[in-house]
Structure 1
């Protein structure tokens, strides 16, 4: 009895067992290539880090919060005893701001801050051995002629648009170790750059 099927339906058709497997997944020797997992995520994280370290606006990697771009903040008030606002023009402050953020590296930025801090030794140090108080610190900025000009803390922080916490972290490292490092230790274990605190100048009052 004839059937409605064509004779070709009864032919043995070879089955392609590689169906759905792209040849792009194998190298020339036939070995399966290893997937480069997380490359895109790593690039995004590094890009956000670059934006943060150069003072640009960015979105945080974990909480997706938008961080504003850094910019020069208003100088200290007219009541400042150092009269910092008279020592630097807006253009000079902008140049200092750009010099700091153009470093683009947290280690170099911390080193920049440390080089512009001067520990002030009082005539009588009344701190107890277990005291957590820091020594008084003087803040400085470079003038166009290469000299350093002392400024108040508010003027220093506002010119660079950084927080007091940043400065206190550096103060702590300078005081608590004979050799302090400003390396960003998050996520890495590379060789640290050491700066001897003994090489930093001291002032007396």
Structure 2
């Protein structure tokens, strides 16, 4: 099969000189191709080695001298960018050093005892701030006195007027103003006669008449109707009468409970001793907090033992 292919390629019979010539020519062509590839590869390496191969007049340019040849505007822009970056770093560093933790702000209006006080003064349901956590229902207007009342209060004041008085009283939402309302609704009456027992020095106390103002007219009512309309008991009335007696018929300007200024205080020497003990404990900054954190932690595993030894 090889000889037939060879004959087709040469178109001559075997044994002639032409066959040898063809083979010699093929060898020469192979050798010439090899030389050309080697020379081309060598030339490519030489061409890639430096730009001076293509341009014999090429001269390298110094980078520093090239930067000097930049326009002045570009140089000023680059310098301004560097300055702004430095300024930002300085500002960031100063912010990190001055940054402190956010302290909580006291909000007395959100305290549980103050919420309970406002609810109690407004007549709504509330839960006491004591440990018992007792729940009190909202204030409601109670039934009036019966028809057997000597003053006939139910015939003088209608239910709509009672509801209005009830709403006006609890809408004050202030204990002092509610006491002023009670004081303005009571009038002291001296008894016309009194029975004196033998061997006693006790005199009969003064009576009090109760009034509601309807359409700028004062209408006298009984004590039961007065309490039922306002939804209160005897205690606020008794408190107002005691304060009126103590202050010559005038209410005290403001409730002074908790405002005596004699609260228990801790001595400053004790506070300074506690601070000195805390500062004597060896501490280290935490590696897990942020850079601006001021928290410190006790060093070592047996930190409780260290605190006891320092004491």
The two structures have a TM-score, normalised by structure 2, of 0.46
Instruction: Sort the Cα spacing of 1:81 and 1:184 in 2 relative to 1 into closer, same or farther, 3 A.
Output: same
Q: Please identify which structure carries the higher strand content.
A: 1
2:167 — aligned with what?
98
Structure 2 contact 189–208 (Cα < 8 Å) conserved: yes
RMSD: 3.2
**1:102 to partner: Cα distance:** 0.3
TM-score (norm 1): 0.68
CA contact (8 A) 2:108 2:114 kept: no
Q: Deviations over 1:180-203 (max 9, x none)?
A: 31633222359xxxxxxxxxxxxx
Residue 116 of structure 2 corresponds to: 48
Given candidates 224, 248, 254, the residue that maps to 1:154 is 224
SS in structure 2 of the partner of residue 80 of structure 1 = coil
**Greater relative contact order, per chain length (Cα 8 Å cut-off, separation 6+):** 1
The 1:41/1:116 distance shift into structure 2, 3 A limit, reads: closer
> Is 1:176 matched up with 2:246?
yes
Residue 138 of structure 1 pairs with residue 209 of structure 2 = yes
The 3-state SS of whatever aligns with 1:140 is strand
Q: How much has 1:43 moved relative to structure 2?
A: 2.4
Structure 1 unaligned segments of length 5 or more: list them. Answer: 1-26, 191-205
Pick the structure with more helix per residue.
Answer: 2
Q: Which residue of 2 aligns with 1:73?
A: 142
Deviation at 1:148, TM superposition (A): 0.4
Decide which of 61, 66, 85 is 2:154's aligned counterpart: 85
Query: Structure 2: any 5+ residue segments left out of the alignment?
Result: 1-94, 262-311
Matched-pair contact (CA < 8 Å) for 2:194–2:204 = no
Aligned to 1:186: 257
SS at match of 1:138: strand
Rg larger for = 2
Equivalent residue pairs, number: 163
